[in-house]
Structure 1
């Protein structure tokens, strides 16, 4: 699924259908790089897509959310780079176990390194797995969590909170664009400022992190109708003329039960997101199955949408029991009027080849 959404820097693409293993790829356009949320089956993603990844965010280690990690390793293990992976407590041991299942007797000094970060309630524990050594798992210390942020680059931040998925932790993610250089022309005029080259300099400083405590000169209209140059502190000047605009964001929610504690966590983290990618595993008539398997049904998702008020809702990860009947999910969802529904085809991944489709190596 690719749809033009109101993002400035980010380009979210859902690389699966309703019934396929969920894969959310987020391209960061100014960098030409990407991050990936969950990695179930992803053999259909091109090598160049996988090589563009800077970080992976894994909700939990069920096969349909984690088995594609082997595909990633296959394509990038000989690349001289470091890839970050964030997941719930225990994910480092599981990554190490996957990598230990292969022989690495031909390693080279330039092979890639994985930096695995376990997200705990009050801290993040990090581990380094260097390819040059055959991917052993080295503890690399802990850092305290202040708020919900776990990772950032120049154009986005990623926040995460822990929910429960039947006695195992599962992460819920929020990806938010960093505030852009948005200027309100009316505020510029009201302040008596005259637009000019100083705005370009202010913009450059904004993106280079050089606003705080630094001065910048700008022309101001005088009572006599002329112009006079004044010196402003950079941050104060920007705050006085910036346009108030909420940065666009993506919420990613899957494989949690509809417990009061889980739903309270989701409300705190995902309120007002621009795009909500949310599991919708069962129809309302199958709510008992949803509760038994600790998933959400259409009733749960409709209620969440009315509380979170996303601009767009992408239902995903429905039960395989609805094969060929995926449209029933869309018919049952009752969304607030400001929320637009994004529909996926049932499958995007290629189907397996049948024996008759293979070329014959002999003739009978």
Structure 2
């Protein structure tokens, strides 16, 4: 399967949590948590269409101002999703600045906070000095926060001490693979038209829809969608990437993580402490590397990437990744 999600831990395994996922052929990206963002260029930041915040500890949200600064002068609508209470917290952040010169600005920030049963929405417009404008919410008991024809994001709530931390799952509804050899044989020139073609398939458009296909030798050809779908593409289960951080090592949490990450192509999960420090992990409401690896194995994830390491292990930077990998592959090793 050719990847359509390109994930990058912005600050590496020891830095602030922030997972930047580039969406192939879309010129778009999604951001999971918003720790320090200075290593991202303005060009990369402006590709972000939606931000998903697990909770509002400073290391997960300190980059919000950098994101706001990048978007402020642009005609964009940035969506931000988070747990209950995030709207008031970010409204306070916005109110801490003076906005007397933004009347002509068109940037809009839409914050949606998930309260379990409902997704509440508030709009903040630069031209209005980011005054809160509550909007009608919607029922969201299933945790489906964000949905486009080519991807969707679902959330579940985990315990992190006495607060909730959201875990997220990014999925491609259906993976559409393009047969490059057929394109070459037909003289079809690869390019942006393929993204439109895939969207039409995902939207179940009529097979008689005409698709304009550019040709290698110049010019274009009009081809029926059904003909293209049968000849140049095949479908399979879509890609799935799960993001889990700041979760107490409790039974209910572990079961939720396994359920959310079942059959994921990639599980990005915190591994804050070594398992020998499990009492500290319980005290601080975080997972150990061994638990993270075991969860990936139980979920049947294809790949595991751990992060959010405690600085106490900086003198042994490979320790937590090695411990998690050993737990993740333990069953395979025993059977080999």
| TM-score category, normalised to shorter length | 0.7 to 0.9
Match of 1:145?
A: 140
2:246 to 230, 255, 263: 255
Q: Please say if 1:301 is aligned against 2:292.
A: yes
Equivalent runs, 1:1-364 vs 2, <5 Å: 7-145=2-140, 147-182=142-177, 207-208=199-200, 212=204, 214=206, 245-333=236-324, 334-337=326-329
TM-score normalised per structure 1: 0.76
How far off is 1:75 after superposition?
A: 1.8
Q: 1:211 to 1:281 in 2, by over 3 A?
A: closer
How far off is 1:95 after superposition?
A: 1.0
CA distance in 1, matches of 2:321, 2:309: 11
Aligned length: 307
CA distance in 2, matches of 1:124, 1:154: 20
Q: 1:327 to 1:143 in 2, by over 3 A?
A: same
The alignment's C-alpha RMSD in Å is: 3.2
Between Structure 1 and Structure 2, which shows a larger proportion of helix residues?
2
Q: 1:215 to 1:42 in 2, by over 3 A?
A: closer
Q: Specify every segment of 5 or more residues in structure 1 that has no aligned partner in the other structure, as ranges.
A: 1-5, 185-194, 198-202, 218-232, 341-364
CA distance in 2, matches of 1:59, 1:152: 18
Residues 108, 126 of structure 2: 8 Å contact kept: yes
Q: Per-residue displacement from partner, 1:165-210 (whole Å, max 9, x unpaired)?
A: 11111110011123133489xxxxxxxxxx999xxxxx97662258
Q: 1:181 to 1:46 in 2, by over 3 A?
A: closer
Residues 176, 236 of structure 2: 8 Å contact kept: no
Residues 205, 211 of structure 1: 8 Å contact kept: no
More displaced 10-residue stretch of structure 1: 300-309 or 32-41: 300-309
Q: 1:339 to 1:61 in 2, by over 3 A?
A: farther
Which has the bigger relative contact order, CA under 8 A and spacing at least 6? 1
Q: 1:121 to 1:7 in 2, by over 3 A?
A: farther
CA distance in 1, matches of 2:202, 2:68: 38
Q: 1:338 to 1:204 in 2, by over 3 A?
A: farther
Residues 309, 338 of structure 1: 8 Å contact kept: no
CA distance in 2, matches of 1:34, 1:215: 30
TM-score normalised per structure 2: 0.82
> Larger radius of gyration, structure 1 or 2?
1
CA distance in 2, matches of 1:62, 1:337: 32
CA distance in 2, matches of 1:105, 1:7: 48
